[in-house]
Structure 1
Amino acid sequence: MRVGLFGLLGTGNLGNDGSLAAVLGHLRDEHPAARIEVFCSGPEDVMARHGVAAVPMNWNRAEYTTASRLTSIVRKGLGKVVDAFRTANWVRRQDVVIVPGMGVLETTLPLRPWGWPYSLFLLSLSGKLVRTKVVFLAVGAAVVADRANRTLLVGAARLAHYRSYRDEVSREALSAMGVDTSGDPVHTDLAFALPNPNPPVDKGVVGVGVMDYHGSNDDRARAARIHRDYVSGMTDFVRRLTEDGRVVRLFVGDQVDERVAERIIDAVGSRGVSVVHTSTLDELLFEMARVESVVASRYHNVLAAVKLGKPTVGVGYAAKSDALMAEMGLGDFCHSMRDLDVDRLVKQFTVLEESGPEVRAVLTRRNAEMSGRVERQLAELSAILRGER
């Protein structure tokens, strides 16, 4: 059996790489004879971390940098043509290609149509042409406003052999864009398949997840203001925690978030505040397991916190964060990143800590439900690999 995995993997996004780790773990346990190859944006990292064959998704390795000179613009254009043939050739060599989780059908962060949406469309189109099954496994989706991105992402979804979603919000979003999702199942995020660590908890320590946030794909004109307001608000929140005598650990979910964490420390000072440096979702889970409560922005920081049973305030930038918090019984502790109100955030955090025992009990029950959902999702994947679906 030849199994390919496809995505923006190995580039420092802990959530994406966690989804990859979950699927690889399942394949190695349940399908040890499968020959696995990953088509991704960071093949060197994937090979080093997971010991699997990996090849670059794009012929032009500068695909995700801004092209300013004529030569780089021409190289990008040429790369689009070359990638069409490279993708088809790679897909032809697989029996099944899995897109493992991730928010692959959304533009809640800035996205150009000829980047990821084009790559995903090439994958699904190639699968249809060469009769390789393309599987969108527990993916995230959101309604896409701009026509070019929407056309490519919806086209990719329609051409896939199988689609499942990490939440009902994602299925509804794809349905709203005209895709028939009536036969598509909803399970949960693949990260729930990863084991929970159990280190000692440092009492009273607060984990604060921060993000290099500049708004959505529709916010490019006001991205600088959105970013400034978010960083200012989170800095004020951390300052209030330290003034109250709390120890704060700053968490990131992508390499680019490191600069936001450093800016907060520069403004607040390093007394009682530190940055937790992690390079995998497993490492993030271990470090977050050591704090007592969490206020987090990036989706997979929120997921890690609730998965660990931590009382959590989710400072979200998209419906997926609110959906996850609601599913975990924490709907009253959602906060919009775009309308950050520090006074309200402090009040939410205070109520959260006062309700700690009750919140932990709810999270224990909900996590048991999520474990069952992700097991059913992986069982469906095995049925596809065996040719039963």
Structure 2
Amino acid sequence: MPRGKRVALVGGVGGGNTGNEVSLDVVRDLLRAARDDLRFCVVTPMPVETTTRGLAHPGEPVLPLRAPRSTAGPRTVGAVLRRALAEGRHTCRVVHEVGGMRALVVCGTGVLDDFEEPPWGMPWSLLLWAAVARVRRRPFILLSVGAGPIGGRVSGRLFRATAALATEVTYRDADSLRTMVDLGSVRADARVTCDLAFGREVAPGPAAAPGPGMRVAVAVMDWGGWSGDDEEARGQYLATLTEAVVGVLDRGHRVVLLVGQPVDVGPAHEVRRSVLSRRPDADLRVADIGAFDDVVDEILGADLVVATRFHLVVAALVSARPVISIGYAPKNRALLTRVGLAHVDRPAEEVTAAWILEQVDAVARDGARYRGSDEVIEGWRRLVRDEVAALATRIG
């Protein structure tokens, strides 16, 4: 197949983030269903891990989103020159690769924020690919992406430039569109759609049965504030979850701990150890999660989900489960508001164990108030499919 038939799927895959990975899978699967003449490559900041995890299908090249970098050692003149040389080589490779592509599609997720990302990370890397695509006259599509919060001024400018260079821009929620407009990115053609993960087919499972003795899935995140290195925030978050899990167990409910990506495993086991130090006889395990579908399988066996990561909230909604959100960013509330559940979210830096337990008790009394609108969620499933099918017709 000629290289010109290749579509680049751009995403932060390889690190085990189940939301990022399912978003890329949805776009690939739907484009393939609409156009059997297209072939794909994956562009990611973690090419080695992406290959190792088998996230690229057979025959699909895996390309590095950014130049290899090292933070080790002092910033000597030699180190700066080596960095500049690496960036130059990478840019030349990007120019060459983009010339052989039919289009580049950034596959959703919160790519336009600076959560644990410096300006020279995702912000700069996206801008480089967008700029090269413009020079090589290839479509660069921001598809159902999330934007904000953006704390750094430099990152904000880089993201604004990327949106300006994009051929098409759709956002997964109105808050994302508003964030970019506030940054000065005003495009008459920008539209609000929904998160791509809603396009994933989910086999129906048993209905949730909230009430006495219900099974509660508590999803733990490796959260240390927006910068990622706030140890006080991390400690308070884990202590709050520990206290909440103890309270849930003392109410006679069952608990399983979930994770959304590998970095969450350590914190989840930390919560487990803390709970078992207080309730040694508790039956409490950390679920073995490898992909979004694994998360859904676990959730389908639960009656309530308590989650921090955005895509675990999404997984609860597509699984028709009551959900309580401990949001690490406003995107959780933005999503839940659209399905009639603004009342189930509390920011991670403000949440208390008492509030979580109040919500658990409320779910046990009336779980329907904590379930998203089936009509809206089904509409989103159709919307994702229609959006990607329409995109397939615009790829030359």
The residue correspondences of 1:108-147 to structure 2 (distance < 5 A) are 109-147=115-153
Q: Is the 8 A contact 1:333 1:352 kept in 2?
A: no
Read off the aligned partner of 2:221 and give its amino acid letter: M
* Worse-matched range after superposition: 343-352 or 67-76: 67-76
CA distance in 2, matches of 1:253, 1:73: 36
Matched letter for residue 355 of structure 1: D
What residue number does 2:249 align with? 242
Contact 1:124 1:160 in 2 (8 A): yes
Report the secondary structure of 1:163's partner residue.
Answer: strand
Instruction: Give the TM-score taking structure 2 as reference length.
Output: 0.89
Aligned equivalents of 2:378, 2:136: Cα separation in 1: 40
Q: 1:358: how far off?
A: 5.1
Q: Give the distance between the partners of 1:301 and 1:283, measured in 2 at CA.
A: 11
Q: Percent identity?
A: 27
* CA–CA distance in structure 1, aligned partners of residues 268 and 19 of structure 2: 18
Structure 2 stretches of 5 or more lacking a match?
A: none
Does structure 1 conserve the Cα–Cα contact (< 8 Å) formed by 2:119 and 2:152? no
Distance 2:242 2:221 in 1: 12
Q: Using the alignment, how far apart are the partners of 1:124 and 1:10 within structure 2? A: 21
One-letter identity of the residue aligned with 1:12: G
What SS is found at the alignment partner of 1:33?
A: coil
Identify the residue that residue 11 of structure 1 maps to in structure 2. 15
Once the two structures are superposed, residues 256-280 of structure 1 have per-residue CA deviations (whole angstroms, 9 ceiling, x without a partner) of 0111101001101172211111111
Amino acid at match of 1:375: R
| Residues 359 and 265 of structure 1, relative CA distance in 2, 3 Å threshold | closer
Q: Does the Cα contact within 8 Å between 2:322 and 2:367 map onto a contact in 1?
A: yes
Structure 2 counterpart of 1:255, from 262, 265, 269: 262
**Deviation of 1:192 (Å):** 0.6
CA gap of 1:143–1:263, structure 2 versus 1, over 3 A, is closer
Give SS of 1:313's match: strand
How is 1:21-36 mapped onto 2 (pairs within 5 angstroms)? Answer: 21-36=25-40
Q: CA deviation at 1:229?
A: 1.0
Q: Does 1:345 align with 2:356?
A: yes
- 8 Å CA contact 2:144, 2:196 repeated in 1: yes
Does the CA-based 8 Å contact 1:163-1:184 persist in structure 2? yes
Q: Is the 8 A contact 1:311 1:356 kept in 2?
A: yes
**Matched position secondary structure for 1:39:** strand
1:215 to 210, 225, 241: 225
**2:56–2:62 contact (8 Å) kept in structure 1:** no
User: Could you tell me how far apart the structure 2 residues matched to 1:383 and 1:33 are?
Assistant: 12
Tell me the C-alpha RMSD between the 2 structures: 2.2
Equivalent residues in 2 for 1:1-389, closer than 5 Å: 1-47=5-51, 48-52=54-58, 53-57=60-64, 61=68, 63=69, 66-68=71-73, 74=80, 75-107=82-114, 109-200=115-206, 204-217=214-227, 223-269=230-276, 271-357=282-368, 359-360=370-371, 362-385=372-395, 387=396
TM-score (norm: length of structure 1): 0.91
CA contact (8 A) 2:268 2:286 kept: yes
CA distance in 2, matches of 1:181, 1:156: 12
Instruction: Give the CA deviation at 1:171.
Output: 0.6
Counterparts in 2 of 1:168 and 1:380: CA distance versus 1, 3 Å: farther
Q: How many Å separate the matches in 1 of 2:369 and 2:327?
A: 23
* Alpha-carbon separation, structure 1, partners of 2:44 and 2:192: 25
> 1:118 aligns to what SS in structure 2?
helix
Please say if residues 88 and 122 of structure 1, whose CA atoms lie closer than 8 Å, have aligned partners that are also in contact. Answer: no
Distance in 1 (CA, whole Å) between partners of 2:361 and 2:15 is: 36
Name structure 1 gaps, 5 residues minimum: none
Moved more, 191-200 or 120-129: 191-200
- 1:156 Cα deviation (Å)? 1.0
Structure 1 residue 239, shift from structure 2 partner: 1.3
Letter in 1 for 2:109: M
Q: CA offsets per residue over residues 8-64 of structure 1, 9 Å max, x none?
A: 112211110010110111122111110211121333554524414132415755x4x
